Structure 1
């Protein structure tokens, strides 16, 4: 009965998702007429060759991956103490309050939050009045993305801390381990699978983002922005399709590396 209920939606998702990826891959091997923008359905490797040989696109790709990794690291650093307090220190009543506080930003529109950070980072914003001049650029982009995706890191890490027996922490203290040693040899290995689970969200969402780049990124260029320009400005859908496969391939490599750690099997 369960299989009969799940089969139709799973088939629909499989066909829609895999079909879209197949169409994207096929389009990447076509070209666009430079005068009319019409798609020329003739097999060619020109788009792939341009991506592999043009140093500009390599730089943009590396910058995009670097931003996604940096956002993930920032979220991990912020999520660990917050999640530990929620799971191990706060009372049951305060745990509910903190969970609501973590989830509340997700209720607001993505654009509202991004433009709020644009106001914060502006020359006349609150940060500037405190003497912090970040402006629009790479640092502002990382801060904004880290804020946007932080709940996706806090919640799985908090769940990991809830599965951490308090007796392990007590035993570590009884054996004379310092706080740093307990954190490094007891806490981190235990919640590592949860950190990995959260990193999949933060890394993938940062990798494909282009709206926040337009709002707070300033001159910073990432793959999502190049894809947007290729479709909206250059009207070159085949090249945009080829560009879109770069983050897809990066995510496949990332998921492969994550699976090699064995963290997903430990969830």
Structure 2
């Protein structure tokens, strides 16, 4: 016979499906939190260790030398600022490109063409990361397609920004497309009836309503660009980002790599806190 507390719990789950769903998701969410927060904790703790200069063995001696070097060495400061500038530039470029693309797909294109455009936007996501990066290497190299078209920027920061903007553009287009597709057409008609020109309608009506989607896309493009390091190795020339510094230090100086890894983590947390203060995340 089932005890009365068990029967009461079963009855509560039957009457409240939301409670039942929360119970089913609690274990995976707890495991995700443990795995994610646990790995970050281990990363932070290992940054307080040191590496023996002669044996390259990790010495479990607590100190803050790694953080002091990261904060005082101008090389790390230069790389961090360069990485932040590249991530911000990629985000701005993707926003400027994605908004008209998503607007045309959601509000102008016919339903049949809309599906084809969605396929065209999402198709690059099915291709391999390295395939797309090396395809851009071919186009940017001497004698490539861009040379024939009038001049290639070569390998360096401009090439990194171009390739990263291409790689993460779908992550900006798709949230904007979803928001614009749900935008009531009556608002656009009302703006036109009141004499609003297309640019005024975009600036005063569309942009405020799709701001949460724009911010959601920016979180993807900013964070993905901030942690990237393969694109820089392929088309960056001598350019370095934080990911390259971390990857080069992992095998030689793991505690220093952990200390440098804290920089992008703090940048992402700071960006999310800034976005949260705007209130845009509450409407996602």
TM-score range, shorter chain: over 0.9
1:70: which partner in 2? Answer: 89
For structure 1, which runs of at least 5 residues remain unmatched after alignment? none
1:50: which partner in 2? Answer: 69
Quote the offset at 1:97 in angstroms: 1.3
Partner Cα distance (2:223, 2:273) in 1: 14
* Pair 1:86 & 2:105 matched: yes
* Pair 1:199 & 2:222 matched: no
Partner Cα distance (2:72, 2:53) in 1: 20
| Cα root mean square deviation, aligned | 1.0
SS at match of 2:209: helix
Q: Judge which range, 172-181 or 69-78, deviates more.
A: 172-181
- Residue from 133, 153, 163 that aligns with 1:134: 153
Partner Cα distance (2:54, 2:90) in 1: 40
TM, length-normalised to structure 1 = 0.97
Quote the offset at 1:133 in angstroms: 2.1
Quote the offset at 1:98 in angstroms: 1.2
Quote the offset at 1:4 in angstroms: 3.2
Partner Cα distance (2:255, 2:94) in 1: 35
1:264: which partner in 2? Answer: 281
SS at match of 1:35: coil
- Residue from 56, 75, 94 that aligns with 1:37: 56
Partner Cα distance (2:25, 2:183) in 1: 33
* Pair 1:248 & 2:265 matched: yes
SS at match of 1:141: helix
Q: What is the correspondence of 1:1-267 to structure 2 with a 5 Å cutoff? A: 1-232=20-251, 235-267=252-284
Quote the offset at 1:7 in angstroms: 2.0
SS at match of 2:155: coil
Partner Cα distance (2:263, 2:198) in 1: 42
For structure 2, which runs of at least 5 residues remain unmatched after alignment? 1-19
TM, length-normalised to structure 2 = 0.91
Quote the offset at 1:172 in angstroms: 1.1
Partner Cα distance (1:3, 1:158) in 2: 30
- Residues 4-31 of structure 1: CA distance to partner in whole angstroms, max 9, x if unpaired? 3212211221111111000000001111
Partner Cα distance (1:96, 1:175) in 2: 32
- Residues 41-87 of structure 1: CA distance to partner in whole angstroms, max 9, x if unpaired? 11111010011111111111011011000000000011011100111
Quote the offset at 1:168 in angstroms: 1.2
